[in-house]
Amino acid sequence: MEGSSSLLDAEAVADLVLLDPLTEESLVQTLRERFRRRDIYTYIGNVVISVNPYQSLPIYTPEKVEEYRNCSFFAVKPHIYAIADDAYRSLRDRDRDQCILITGESGAGKTEASKLVMSYVAAVSSKGEEVNKVKEQLLQSNPVLEAFGNAKTVRNDNSSRFGKYMDIEFDFKGEPLGGVISNYLLEKSRIVRHVKGERNFHIFYQLLAGASPQLLQQLKLRQDCGHYGYLNREGSSLPGMDDAANFHAMQDAMRVIGFSPAEVTELLEVTAVVLKLGNVQLSSSFQASGMEACSISDPQELREVCELIGLEPGALERALCSRTVKARDETVLTSLTVPQGYYGRDALAKNIYSRLFDWLVNRINASIQVKSDKQRKVMGVLDIYGFEIFQDNGFEQFIINYCNEKLQQIFILMTLKEEQEEYVREGIQWTPVEFFDNSIICNLIENSTTGILAMLDEECLRPGVVNEDTFLTKLNQLLATHKHYESKETQNARRVTDASLPPRCFRIHHYAGKVTYNVTGFIEKNNDLLFRDLSQAMWAARHALLRSLFPEGDPQKVSLKLPPTAGFQFKLSVALLMKNLYSKNPNYIRCIKPNDTKSAMVFTPELVLAQARYLGLMENVRVRRAGYAFRQLYGPFLQRYKMLNPRTWPRWDRGDREGTEVLLAGLEFPAEELAFGHTKIFIRSPRTLFDLERQRQERVAQLVTLIQKMFRGWRCRTQYQLMRKSQILISAWFRGHRQMNRYKQMKRSALILQAYARGWKSRRLLRELKSQCRRQAAATTIAAHWRGYQARRTYRKYFRSSASTCLANFIYRRLVHRYLVGLAKNLPPLSVMDRTWPPAPYRFLDNTNQELKNIFYRWKCKKYRDQLPASRRAQLQARLCASELFKDKKTLYPKSLQQPFRGEYLGLKQNPKYQKLHAVAKDKLVMADTVRKVNRASGKTVPRLLLLTTEHLVLADPKAAQPKTVLSLSDIHGVSVTRFSDGFLALHLKEVSTGAKGDFLLLSEHLIELVTRLHQTFEATTGQALPLHITDRFSTRFPKGDVSITVVESPKASTNGPVCKKKGSNKMEVLVH
Ligand SMILES: Nc1ncnc2c1ncn2[C@@H]1O[C@H](COP(=O)(O)OP(=O)(O)O)[C@@H](O)[C@H]1O
Ligand SMILES: [Mg+2]
């Protein structure tokens, strides 16, 4: 929308066709206003006018590329991208080869424009590894060619000093496949000479600034530019141009394009040779004959050159200083004068360089050429040197301007003349527009008989004295009356005095202005001669690349034919170029230079007006206004747009014109927008065409959607059918499988049920049969018994009624017999300790067996006892008695089992001290021991000797060994002891004997033995058992009254047995442990 609004902005219309009023002033004013607004691009229809901004503008970003991509030409601001897009789309979609013609003066921005077009096409065409490689190679050809073919001129710091036409080739999808570059006339004179303030070709400066020290050494160069005669010694570097960086960029670009490192080295070597040739100095000398000759003044440089190219220095020196002349059959070596020598040297340097440049272009072409033979579409981009008017114009300017003249002719032919002629041809109503047709100028230069170039060639080939003066005279003669030709002489003839036209000059009124050419050097440059000796010397060099540049140096191929002249060659290549351009659809970019000082934002109206005039912009606008923007044959038009009308879509059977009319009638465009020619349809404004195109795009999108829809529907349907079939198959299989499983399950279950049922039935039957059997057996048994009973009853009377008892007795006896006999054979051992006895074999023998066991045991014991000695028996009896008395009653008892019952502890017999006591006891002594007697009053104890005889119990004083107390056993009433493990005993006496002292309380260490023996003896003496009380509480009788004694268990063990404590008058506590 931005674009369309500026399109209608009256002050700065985007399309000059809309200019009102249309005057030269308003045109320049509009360009100026737009330039001020930094809108450097303006349209005239589909021609783009570009005004060089001399500053970088932010309008070439990737976002901008996206904006212009596939957009409608007039919907966005004018831009070089728009025309590039239009051309690219036309190529891709309409299958028409395109060419983009970029014209303008030197420094107007042509080369920049061509790069922008290329980069845009590269950005919008499809991507892919292969395609990207091709694009990259195409784009990278620019830095390489610019390094070798561009130089700083007064007008432009980066001026192309050669013409370039590049065909970019695409496949049917619009993907770049490759390209071909053609170069035109390199300005080789620059190698040896350039105007003050200009520079030689960039490569020399780049090489010296950017090469590494090793490379420089390898090339035998010095970094200092001032050292080299061919280079600009004052201003070798340019502001804003980094030669070193550019050198590296160029090397990278070469790598991308596919140059091998060896090729790059060779290329740089030849470049170095050119540079060094400029330093080969000559000096004059005289031969013996007195003739002037020249020689190399400093052989060092020459030697280095020869080392670089692999040539013997003498050979090159010979070639530089002398010349072989063939006269009839002889060859004569003539030496050259110093100027001739320099001429030869410079010619060699120029030739080497220009041939090297051609080689470079061919080498790039070899890399980028299309390898496949697919059908291709071509987009040509022409960036050729612009029109040049200098102070001093030479042969180069003449050639360059001739080329521009031809390009202008194309423009005129295609946009003005051709177009207008076409309207007439097609029978369209048309008012002719006046314009300047420059074919007369072209004719002046290129006419094959009277043209300036033809005459120059003639002069060059003519034998005899030939120089520029004869050439000029000839021109003056032939072209004296030509409107566009002037010279001093023709002016004189017309009596015009023009101080600006010096002698030895001629002037041509070019379409872009009058240019005065100085004829000096015309012949020489046209001839472009190189002494054969030099080309032969080059061919003789071992350097492969250099050698290949001079094929004519091969002595085998010497031809006497003169090579074609430079002018002739150029004319030929321009004619070829024109033919090429005519075959394509042209797109114009007309570059305008806004000022002469390369300054940003400076607009010099006079300068722009001059350019606008000679570019024919006014005429262009006029024709455009009156004419039609678009035309096409009815056939292709109908073919392209027939889908826009249901009547013509999908098929139209009648004529193309009729079809086009029907088609457009349906679209309701205003009548003045369309014109129907004899063979073509004409559409006036691009807007209508864009509308048509937009509608087509929409319709195509609809149709595509329809086709897609149908296809997708079909695909989904078939897919669905397939899935359905598969699904049915799967479910059939699945169901089958499931049913089979279910059937198997049921079969298994049925079998199990059957098995159970059958089992159950069989078991029932079996049970039935078994019970039947049992019943039968029972019935049989009952019957047997019954019969038996009946028989016995019947036959009882015939037997003794006691027969059964008799039998039973017999059987019993027999069993008993067997039992007893068996027992006798298997009697258990006779050890008393062994209590085993075989069990009874029958139950009825249990009691008997038990009885026999007891008898046997007792018998064993008796036998044991019988064989025991009497003392042992008495001891055992005493033990038995002790056990009966104390076992489980007194805790002292278990301890006493370890102690043997010694009876005699005192040793009465042996100890004479106890003689008296021994006498008392005599033979009746049962036991003698020491005891302690408890004092009745205090509870204290005193030791006493105790003697037990069969009749008495004697207590004696241990010291005196005299009996103190003698008790008859029959006086003893009873004995009391405690339950505990102490040796305390109370000896209760009968009342009769207590007259004196009462009961005794004693402590014995052999209490169990004492009491047992007392008991035994008492029983033996009195025939009665001795009453023994095992108790905790008892009373004793003493003369002073009864004392009740309580036995108390003390938790502490006392050392000397029990302790008796008197508690009050009639209570005593015995603390035992
Ligand atoms: N579109 C542009 N934007 C910015 N600067 C430009 C543009 N076109 C040209 N220039 C400037 O102008 C100079 C000359 O342009 P160039 O294309 O080399 O001219 P020509 O090829 O017509 O002789 C460039 O070096 C650049 O500085
Ligand atoms: Mg250029």
Per-residue pLDDT of 256-284, as tens digits, reads 999 999 999 999 999 999 999 999 999 98
Q: Is the pLDDT of residue 8 over 60?
A: no
Catalytic residue among 146, 388, 419, 486: 388
What pLDDT is stored for residue 468 in this prediction?
85
Residues 484-493 have a mean pLDDT of: 85
- 21: preceding bond cis by omega (within 30 degrees): yes
| C-beta 159 within 6 A of ligand 1 | yes
Burial grade of 389 (CB within 10 A; 0-12, 13-18, 19 or more): middle
Catalytic residue among 119, 141, 160, 476: 160
CB atoms within 10 A of CB 713: 10
What pLDDT is stored for residue 1 in this prediction?
34
* C-alpha of residue 9 to centroid of ligand 1, in Å: 27
Tokens of 1059: 């302790």
* Predicted confidence band of residue 4 (pLDDT cuts 50, 70, 90): very low
Burial grade of 769 (CB within 10 A; 0-12, 13-18, 19 or more): exposed
Which ligand is nearest to the Cα of residue 81, counting in written order?
Answer: 1
Q: Which 8-state DSSP code applies to residue 937?
A: T
CA nearest neighbour of 211 among 159, 275, 268, 263: 268
| 106 a catalytic residue | yes
**For ligand 1, atom 9: residue with the closest CA:** 109
Bridge partners (DSSP) listed for residue 1069 = 1046, 1061
| Order of all β-strands in the sheet with 98-104 | 41-44, 47-51, 585-592, 98-104, 377-383, 163-170, 176-184
Q: Are 51 and 592 a contacting pair, CB within 8 Å?
A: yes
Using the atom order of ligand 1, give the atom closest to the CA of residue 114. 17
When comparing pLDDT for 553 and 9, which is higher? 553
Catalytic residue among 6, 30, 103, 106: 106
Which H or E run contains 1030? strand 1028-1030
Q: Is the pLDDT of residue 232 over 80?
A: no
Ligand 1 pocket test, pick from 52, 590, 611 with the greatest ligand atom count within 8 Å of Cβ, gives 52
| 1066 a catalytic residue | no
Q: Are 168 and 98 a contacting pair, CB within 8 Å?
A: no
Rounded to whole angstroms, the Cα distance separating 894 from 886 reads 9
Q: Are 1026 and 951 a contacting pair, CB within 8 Å?
A: no
Where helices occur in 887-971 by DSSP H, the ranges are: 893-896, 915-921
Q: What is the mean pLDDT of the chain?
A: 87
Q: Are 642 and 648 a contacting pair, CB within 8 Å?
A: yes
596-597-601-605 Cα dihedral, nearest 10 degrees: -30
Q: What angle do CA 856, 859, 865 make, to 5 degrees?
A: 145
| 826 a catalytic residue | no
| C-beta 52 within 6 A of ligand 1 | yes
* C-alpha of residue 108 to centroid of ligand 1, in Å: 6
The per-residue pLDDT for range 766-813, each reduced to its tens digit, is 999 999 999 999 999 898 888 888 888 887 777 666 778 888 899 999
Q: Which 8-state DSSP code applies to residue 201?
A: B
What pLDDT is stored for residue 790 in this prediction?
85
When comparing pLDDT for 155 and 1055, which is higher? 155
Q: Are 52 and 591 a contacting pair, CB within 8 Å?
A: yes
Ligand 1 pocket test, pick from 35, 48, 112 with the greatest ligand atom count within 8 Å of Cβ, gives 112
CA nearest neighbour of 158 among 407, 391, 383, 365: 383
